[in-house]
Structures are given as structure tokens and as C-alpha cells.
Amino acid sequence: MELLLHSFFNLGILQQAWPFLLSGFWMTVKLTLVVVPLGLAGGLAVALASTARSRPVRWLLIAYVDFFRAFPPLVLLMFIAFGLPFLKLDLGAFGAVALSFLLNTSSYYGEIFRAGIESIPRGQYEAARSTGLSAVQTLGYVVVPQAVRNVVPDLISNTLEVIKLTSIASVVALPELLFAAREAQSVTYNATPIIAAGIIYLVCLWPLVRLLSRFEHRQIAVH
């Protein structure tokens, strides 16, 4: 018990590590605020483009989505972080993370938005168009708002996964929460910073998990 307290819940170590953890935490917040909106916008763009009439465009988008869904995000990140500099394209750690997240999450968000758009009956387009709305207005005012409402639980679920995924940025030395915790651990020779980082993730993300759990039960109970 004493060993457990000393190794995992060591207040002295926590005090030393706290400034690191805090700056790591803010980096994680910053990263989230960049990659989630980017992914949402990219995903919506992919989904809207897949409503195009042209077949090659649709096939190309399906290929894009499947390609990036088949890639483990960490593999994509490493490829971009270590491969692109050879093309004289050094984005830095933050840029590499943002680009790989954009490619990865836009294909997941894209699939979600696509399912939402497909859930809107054809008749709504026709009705909207026949009242004189343009195609863009129909999408913007009629289809997308309803489509988004239909897939809110999936969007939240994916966003939770994206936030958790920001921890892989530690692998390319972006100083976010997990990276800060590992640095503090290797300096102090004590696992408390890692446990503390886990607790910080837990405190921040638990409300989302609870919310999702309620959505899921309701969703499956309806069927």
C-alpha cells in the first residue's frame, strides 16, 4: 500500500511535475481546438462533395475515405512527420499532427455526415428546389441542418475518439499532456506524473462518456 502511494500518488513528485503537466494540458486543449474543427470542416466537405452527380468524383472520395480509414493514425502521423521532411516539406511537429489528423478524422467525420445526408428523404430536396431554393440553399438550409441533427451521437462519439487520439502526438515529441507526463516521469523516476495525466484525461472526458452512454442506450432501444 505504501509502495503504491509512493509510486503512483506521490504528492511531492506531483508538485514538481505539476507545471509540466499543466503546460502539456494546455497544449492538448490547443491541439483539440485545432484538429476537431478542421476534421469537422473537412468531413462535411467530403460528405457534401460525395453528393455530386459525377461518378468519378464519388469514386475518388470513397477511395480517399477508405484509404485513410485503413491506415492506423499513428502510422499516418509517422509517415508525415518523418517522410515529408525528405521532400523539403518540414511542417514541424504541430503541423505534421494537424495534417495527419485532418486526413484521418475528415474521412471518419465524412462517413458520419454522409450517413446523415443519406437519411434525408429525396422528397425534401425536390420540395425545397420546387419552392425556388437553389441547390446550395437546399443543402445549406434544408438538408445539412437535419442531417447533422440525425448524427449528433456519432459526431460526439467520434470527437471523443479524436480528443483521446491527440495523445499520439507525444510520439513525434509535441509537448502535449502525455509527452509532458513521460518527460516528468523520466526525470523524477516516478510513475506519479503518468497516473496524474491519466486522471486529468479521465476528469475531462468522463462527462462525454456518460453522455454518449445515454445516447447509445436510447438509440438501440428504439430499434
Partner 1 sequence: MTSLERLADTFFNVPVMVQYLPKIVEGFFVTIELALAVVVAGIAAGLLLAVVRAFRVRAVNFCIVLVVDVLRALPPLVIIIAFYFALPTIGIRLSAWVATWLALALVLAAFAEEIFWAGILSVPKGQWEAARSTGLTFLQTLTEVVLPQAVRLTIPPLTNRTIAITKGTALGAVVAVGEILYQAQTAYSFSYNPSPLLLGALAYLILFVPVVYFGRWIETRFAWKR
Runs of H (alpha helix) within the chain: 2-8, 11-49, 55-70, 73-78, 92-118, 122-130, 135-137, 144-150, 152-165, 177-188, 192-222
Q: What residues between 149 and 178 interact with partner 1 by CB under 8 A?
A: 160-161, 164-168, 170-171, 178
- 29 makes contact with partner 1 (CB under 8 A): no
Binding to partner 1 by CB under 8 A, coded x per residue (else -) over 84-113, reads --xx--------------------------
**CB-wise, 136 or 221, nearer to partner 1?**
221
Q: What residues between 200 and 219 interact with partner 1 by CB under 8 A?
A: 201-202, 205-206, 208-210, 212-213, 216-217, 219
CB neighbourhood size of 39 (10 A): 24
**CB-wise, 135 or 205, nearer to partner 1?**
205
Instruction: Tell me which stretch binds partner 1 (CB under 8 A): 45-53, 90-98, 136-144, 183-191.
Output: 183-191
Q: How many residues does the chain have?
A: 223
Q: What is the rounded CA–CA span in Å between residue 102 and residue 38?
A: 6
Q: What is the rounded CA–CA span in Å between residue 13 and residue 146?
A: 51
* Nearest approach, Cβ of residue 125 and partner 1 (Å): 18
- 124 makes contact with partner 1 (CB under 8 A): no
DSSP state of 119: T
* Nearest approach, Cβ of residue 189 and partner 1 (Å): 8
SS3 state of residue 90: coil
Crossing angle of helices 152-165 and 11-49, rounded to 10°: 130
Angle at 66 between CA 28 and CA 178, to 5 degrees: 20
Binding region for partner 1 (CB under 8 A):
3-4, 7-8, 66-67, 69-75, 78-79, 82-83, 86-87, 119, 160-161, 164-168, 170-171, 178, 182, 185, 190-191, 194-195, 197-198, 201-202, 205-206, 208-210, 212-213, 216-217, 219-221, 223
